[in-house]
A and B are shown apart, each in its own frame.
Chain A
Amino acid sequence: EVQLVESGGGLVQPGGSLRLSCAASGFTFSNYDMHWVRQATGKGLEWVSGIGTAGDTYYPGSVKGRFTISRENAKNSLYLQMNSLRAGDTAVYYCARLGYTAMGPNGMDVWGQGTTVTVSS
């Protein structure tokens, strides 16, 4: 079964750091681009980072310089290091796989169940 399982969420003070993990199974992890997407309570989806198969990384302006995405293919794992956390970073964080067809990348076709990050004093 193709599966993604996030972990590492929790309560952290403003200015603190947290590292999220995403364990992949059921597919060849190294062959896929991976992403992190977050969702604050009652709000919409916000993309927060992506990493290609070659290790190239991408971030929106809202987290660039504070968040670092990485992958460890030997462990089928994706990570998100979050530093200088703010109250506005409070959300459920999902990892997601970017699917492919013969025509190229399509959508985020596999998602984890999410892990909750709360930034509060």
Chain B
Amino acid sequence: DARVTQTPRDKVTEMGQEVTMRCQPILGHNTVFWYRQTMMQGLELLAYFRNRAPLDDSGMPKDRFSAEMPDATLATLKIQPSEPRDSAVYFCASGLAGWTGGTFFGQGTRLTVV
């Protein structure tokens, strides 16, 4: 059963600490997305990658957020330093460019910064 896997599922951290979220896309998918979901802003695209190259990270606060794909099976989203306003659910999603199927979402990482 192919699925997008995210770790950790929940993270509580203190303000100022570094947070790293990990995502394993579905095997064979070449497009990976990071979304953030909050009650106020809904679903926002933070960054996305095609064949491991960043295509768009305009939705990401550059001073504290960074996203990378060290290899085809791992995407990371890092926040340093974290702030309370970063509290949200972060979703990773993957898809296959050119395919008419959907984009598949992981279970999300619920981040709470206190």
Same complex for A and B? Answer no
